Amino acid sequence: MADVEKKVRVSGEQQRPSEPVLPTVNPSAEKSEPPKAALHPAVYVVTWISFSGGVILFNKWLLDTLGFKFPITLTAWHMVFATFMTQVLAKTTTLLDGRKTVKMTGRVYLRAILPIGFFFSLSLICGNKAYLYLSVAFIQMLKATMPVAVLIVSWILGVAPVNFKTLGNVSLIVVGVVIASIGEIKFDLTGFLYQAGGIAFEATRLVMVQRLLSSAEFKMDPLVSLYYFAPVCGVMNTVAALVVEVPSMSMKNVYDVGIFMLVANAMVAFLLNVSVVFLIGKTSSLVLTLCGILKDILLVACSMLIWGTQVSLTQFFGYSIALSGLLYYKLGAEQLKQHISQAGRSWGEFGATRPVARKLLVFGLFIFTVLLLLGGLGPTYAPSQTQSVKDYLSSAGLPGR
């Protein structure tokens, strides 16, 4: 009984109103600095497009324009440089800490990393060999078939069940690329076969990586993947280069290009992998899809403006169909309608709030399109007039092509 009374008394004491307590302020919170503003996602988008497009244009410039016709050696150099840089980053930064969660064993390395590295090497070699025969514009058009190749390889390897409805969804991409290939003015069968092989090997690599990463134990971002694959590719490509290209090389070939140019080329290729990590972490899958399509369009434009690549109206038509099919396949009809509607509203709001800026943007895009069409179609439909313009620019001291 005494225990019960004691509990009641204690409970009553707890229910008494206590003295008001003033809110306390954490002194460290007052002195803490405000968080720094994060970079806008557009910064990561522009950075990735710059490095991704820069690698392609840089490789074309070295292999074709500067005459360094050793694509296997170039890919071997890229992988050796990437191996060195990933080791440095692993020891000095936190960018590669993700590798600590990967349960990499000797068995996994032999059964997964080596085969993937083998197909990675083949895709790099074939992709760079294609630059010796085809224009950047046509190569980008052919690369639009990558989703189709990945789909077919995933069926062959049993990663995904056969679905003819999905195949029908990507058929528009194939139709567009076929039309673009028919309209290619400087079609080269050897270059086409190299690029087709590169697409097939890259699709195989992507499906094998997808199968490897299906387990939570092997989740890897692109930089961690490069950490494991670069040494394998470096060794394979170096052996291939020693057998195929090095016997016909001399140090004069290296000096003609310049050691600085080769180092800069490898650095741009490596920074591309770093930028991918940040782009994936800061944006969405939609942004990735749109960025890839925008990059391809810009590369076609750069090919026309830098090298004077002739692109026919048939190619423009076919490539437009392929890009439309790619968007439809990646986003789907309903999601595509939603994004188009949202983009229309955003464009209307932009015009209402900043009418002058919108007019300037439309005018700038119109001028760019006109110059692009004249630059690409001029040599095809008006060769004598185009040559006259080039001669005039040369006589005026301007860099005519």
Q: How many CB atoms lie within 10 A of CB 278?
A: 18
Which pLDDT score is estimated for 313? 87
Which pLDDT score is estimated for 177? 93
Structure tokens at 369: 């399109």
Helices 285-306, 313-331: inter-axial angle, 10-degree rounding:
170
Domain boundaries, the chain: 41-331
Which tens digit of pLDDT belongs to each residue from 128-147? 999 999 999 999 999 999 98
Structure tokens at 254: 């290296």
Rounded CA separation 401/398 (Å): 9
Identify the burial level of 137 via C-beta atoms within 10 angstroms of its C-beta, where 0-12 means exposed, 13-18 middle and 19 or more buried.
Answer: buried
Which pLDDT score is estimated for 371? 64
Chunked in runs of 10, what are the mean pLDDT values of the chain (401 residues)?
Answer: 51 50 48 54 86 94 93 95 94 87 82 89 94 93 91 89 82 90 89 96 90 71 86 94 94 92 95 84 72 87 85 89 85 65 72 77 73 58 57 49 43
Which tens digit of pLDDT belongs to each residue from 8-22? 455 455 555 544 554
Which pLDDT score is estimated for 160? 84
Q: What pTM was estimated for this model as a whole?
A: 0.74
**Cα 398 versus chain centre, distance:** 33
